[in-house]
Structure 1
Amino acid sequence: MATVPRRTLVAIGAAALLGVSACGGTAAPPAAAPAAPGSSASGSAAAPSASGAQGAWTWTDDRGKNISVPRRPQRVVAQSAAAAALWDFGVRPIGVFGPHRLKDGGRDPEVGEVDIAKVESIGNVWGEFNVEKYASLQPDLLVAGMYQKDTLWYIPEQSVAAVDQVAPSVGVQLSGKPLVDIIDKYGQLATALGADPKAAPVVEAKNRFDAAGAALKTLAAAKPDLKVMIVTGTPESLYVAYLPDHPDIKYWGELGLNIVYPSKPTESEGGFWEVLSWENADKYQADVILVDARSQSMKIDEMAKKPTWAKLPAVKAGQLYPWHAAERYSYLGYAQVMEELKTNLEKSRDDVVK
């Protein structure tokens, strides 16, 4: 983010109340992607009793943590990416933390379709979480993704104990799992919180996701020689994404895209990336480079000042496109990502790398 990858996704790749509703509508440390992948226990929700929201509510999250409360949570606070995913499935959080408001006051892409004018901000940047404000919202539940095993994203380590005393929390594992499984987990959680999985916007988003994936697969088959690399940067280093640790990139590889990636990640990053000095930024060659588009990440015009970057074939060919590293895990979110990716790759030459 300004410099950051995903554990820097994690750490950042180094915050008018609305109750949760089952409506039918819809700078962290430098580069590190979601921190190291962790094992996950399958999360599940017990079906609400006949009394609906008045019945007992249980859920086992991806830490293997069992949550059991007298009634279905109504007041949910969520990390921005989790809030965005839940929003697309029909849940309306009352508060968010993590990137959601840009410096100009606009909505950060990381918070998706969430109406930031109707949710309370608990913190907007890495390391910022206002525990007192969080407690004042009287939340029933906190939801956050996890890139590092058993570690809720964007909750400062020093605040964990205090946050745990306020309300139960649900963690959703975001690494080491297939993209579709993560999306499905958010859908299951939203349903358990009262959202309608058959609502028209949800069904339409799923159909759009399937269509976008099929179109990307067709394009990959038509352009087997098109080499694609995914990166993020800091002033000191270039981070090249390690395919197995990124659910989105791995999914695209399964669809047939020719992804250029390291044989192994840099050990100190806990996975996710190979870290290269800018002097060695030409280690890998690709026809197309997807660049981390997060607001905190190094911008392409800043990278252009690095001599080795400027000499890369994809850079000289102008085939640089955004990579939405912190996209919310919903069908709508990734349908949009894959549609944009297909459009960009369709117009790209596959003979840039000689």
Structure 2
Amino acid sequence: MGADASGWEFTDDRGAALRLPRRPRRVVAYVRAGAALLDLGVVPVAVYGSGHDGDGLDPVKAGELGATGVPYLGPGRLLDGDPSGALGAVRADLVVDVTYDGKSGYALDEAVAEGLGVPMVALSVGGEVTLARILERFGGLGAGLLGAASAPEAPGSVAEAEMALASAAASGRRPVVLALSGAGPEQVHLARPQAWPELARMVELGVRIVEPGPGAGASWLTADWERAAELRPDVVLVDSRANAVWPEGSEAYPEVWRAVVGGSRVVPWNPETPPSAVAFGRFFREVAAALG
């Protein structure tokens, strides 16, 4: 990766080597990637969502994008290769997506970008990649897009937040932590900690994140709320994205929710936290405060 007199180069996490005659200046990104790039000092010209997103930008996934006024183009799967369409109109010279399988972009069909003559890079964010590696790769891409030798130093480093988290986890009785995503009054998705890089890192730091148990699903165990209550969490990390289902007005919902949280502390959790030191440092400090 780099930029010099011969152009700009970057090899993404699919192994695709990109060589351009000049450094990209007009970057369009999946909202999660775009929020991370913004934290690193790269302002996208626009962002797009995933199949879970609607016509509006999910403020939980957006980080500082909304406040900065970066345009949202809608779900990536609804974008097309029409030069006069939403994606074509922003005249991008690079698309940045994420990948969970190391083979293809997650939120936008690469053929759409190719149809517009725009190259794509995709960085891994799946559970097989460590959080440190994810942050390193996004930092490297951000530095390359800025024309810098290295990523800018983030205020309040992840290392400092990790130290606070490890200290809180080690003090006194180790609280039981459960991460979940609401699916309605009858079902809840319970996170498997090793499937999520940030949760796996928290376990390494001594946080006692409970494994929900055997069953189908590599990232989540879908169960009833009674199963969640049986795990007796002290701290609950709750999926705060717009696509997580919280059926307000349901008579059954408050009862099952109280059965899970009881006297627990609740911390909002974004399973698509922008892969930047700023965003993960903030989340780790919030969890440390809840543990303490």
Two-structure CA RMSD over aligned residues (Å): 2.8
State which of 53, 62, 70 in structure 2 corresponds to 1:119: 70
Matched, 1:311 2:264: no
Cα distance in 2 for residues equivalent to 1:150 and 1:322? 31
For the residues of structure 2 that align with 1:106 and 1:246, how far apart are their CA atoms?
23
- Determine helix, strand or coil for the equivalent of 2:146: coil
Equivalent runs, 1:49-88 vs 2, <5 Å: 49=4, 51=5, 55-88=6-39
Residue 188 of structure 1 pairs with residue 140 of structure 2: yes
Does the alignment pair 1:323 with 2:269?
Answer: yes
Report the residue type matching 1:289 in the other structure.
Answer: V
Does structure 2 conserve the Cα–Cα contact (< 8 Å) formed by 1:281 and 1:309?
no
Judge conservation of contact 1:144–1:152 (CA < 8 Å) in 2: yes
**Aligned match of 2:94:** 141
**Aligned counterparts of 2:258 and 2:235: Cα–Cα separation in 1:** 14
What letter corresponds to residue 205 of structure 2 in structure 1? Answer: L
CA distance in 1, matches of 2:149, 2:285: 23
**Separation in 1, partners of 2:189, 2:132:** 25
Which blocks of at least 5 consecutive residues in structure 2 are unaligned? none
Query: Do the aligned residues in 1 keep the contact of 2:238 with 2:266 (CA within 8 Å)?
Result: yes
CA distance in 2, matches of 1:83, 1:193: 12
CA distance in 1 between partners of 2:208 and 2:135 (Å): 24
CA distance in 2, matches of 1:256, 1:141: 40
Equivalent residue number for residue 111 of structure 2: 161
Asked if 1:228 is matched to 2:177, the reply is yes
Alignment-derived partner of residue 274 in structure 1? 221
Match of 1:349 in 2: none
Q: Distance between the aligned counterparts of 2:36 and 2:142, measured in 1?
A: 9
> Match of 2:280, as an amino acid?
Y
Which amino acid is the alignment partner of residue 248 of structure 1?
E
In the alignment, the residues of structure 1 paired with residue 59 and residue 122 of structure 2 have an alpha-carbon distance, to the nearest angstrom, of 22
The verdict on how the C-alpha distance between 1:265 and 1:173 changes in structure 2, with shifts beyond 3 A counting, is farther
Moved more, 129-138 or 58-67: 129-138
Question: Contact 1:239–1:276 at 8 Å: present in 2 too?
Answer: yes
1:91 aligns with 2:42: yes
Q: Residues 35 and 65 of structure 2 are in contact (CA less than 8 Å); yes or no, is this contact kept in structure 1? A: yes
Name stretches of at least 5 consecutive residues in structure 1 with no aligned partner. Answer: 1-44, 347-354
Secondary structure of the 2:29 match is strand
Measure the CA separation in 2 of the matches of 1:228 and 1:126. 34
* Whole-angstrom CA distance in 1 between matches of 2:136 and 2:144: 12
CA contact 2:23–2:147 (8 Å) conserved in 1 = no
Distance 1:226 1:193 in 2: 42
Identity among equivalent pairs (%): 27
In structure 1, the residue matched to 2:196 is 246
- C-alpha distance in 1, partners of 2:89/2:219? 37
Q: Report how far residue 318 of structure 1 moved.
A: 4.4
| 1:274 CA drift (Å) | 1.1
In structure 2, do the counterparts of structure 1 residues 198 and 64 end up closer, same or farther at CA, with 3 Å as the change threshold?
Answer: closer
Write the deviation string for residues 291-342 of structure 1: whole angstroms up to 9, x where unpaired.
Answer: 1011221238678834544323xx1214222112211010111111111112
TM-score (norm 1): 0.72
Q: Secondary structure at the match of 1:144?
A: strand
* Aligned with residue 59 of structure 2, among 78, 88, 108: 108
In the superposition, relative to structure 1, how do residues 121 and 320 fare at CA in structure 2: closer, same or farther (>3 Å)? Answer: closer
Aligned CA distance change for structure 1 residues 126 and 74 (closer, same or farther; 3 Å): closer
Instruction: Give the C-alpha shift of residue 192 in structure 1.
Output: 1.3
| Aligned CA distance change for structure 1 residues 224 and 253 (closer, same or farther; 3 Å) | farther
CA distance in structure 2 between the partners assigned to 1:260 and 1:144 by the alignment: 31
- Once the two structures are TM-superposed, the CA of residue 179 in structure 1 deviates from its matched residue by 0.7
**Letter paired with 1:294:** R
Aligned position for 1:20:
none
Residues 99-133 of structure 1: per-residue CA shift (max 9 Å, x gap) = 7xx99x8871312122566433221x474435422
Query: Does the 8 Å contact 1:187/1:197 carry over to 2?
Result: no
Conserved 8 A contact 2:139-2:150: no
Q: Is the 8 A contact 2:32 2:273 kept in 1?
A: yes
Supply the distance in 2 between the matched residues of 1:86 and 1:242 (Cα, whole angstroms): 27
- The number of residues matched between the two structures is 283
Equivalent position amino acid for 1:143 in 2: V
Answer whether contact 1:289 1:319 (CA < 8 A) is retained. Answer: yes
